[in-house]
Amino acid sequence: MYTELLANIAILVLSGFVGFAVISKVPNTLHTPLMSGTNAIHGIVVLGALVTFGAAQEPSILTQVILFVAVVFGTLNVIGGFVVTDRMLGMFKTKKDTAKKADI
């Protein structure tokens, strides 16, 4: 039991280091497409948490809390990512496009 837990913790920590190393090397011009890809990944996290929630038979309170937190944080990341992506793409619009959108 503890070997499996330690293996999962090691994978989590190594994933964090690899993610940081990859993200820190991304040039500024690629952040918007990267954010869109991150939104898709967090959508998968939300879907996985919901599937796990539905498949669990008589889950403990701790399991329910962890799954609920995963759904909430995943949803917040998806929404926040789309908001940030929209704002970043809005910086590239001309003033004419912005004025037309305000008139509607």
22-32 pLDDT, tens digit each = 877 777 666 66
- What are 37-46's pLDDT values in tens digits? 677 777 887 8
- Residue 57 CA to residue 64 CA, distance in Å, equals 11
Cβ atoms of 88 and 35 within 8 Å: the answer is yes
Kindly state the tokens that stand for 65.
């809390």
Residue 32 CA to residue 81 CA, distance in Å, equals 9
Give the pLDDT band (50/70/90) at residue 85: confident
- Among residues 42, 43, 67, the alpha carbon closest in space to that of 53 is found at 67
Mean per-residue pLDDT for 81-91? Answer: 77
The answer to whether the beta carbons of residues 74 and 51 sit under 8 Å apart is no
Structure tokens at 95: 């003033």
**pTM score, whole prediction:** 0.55
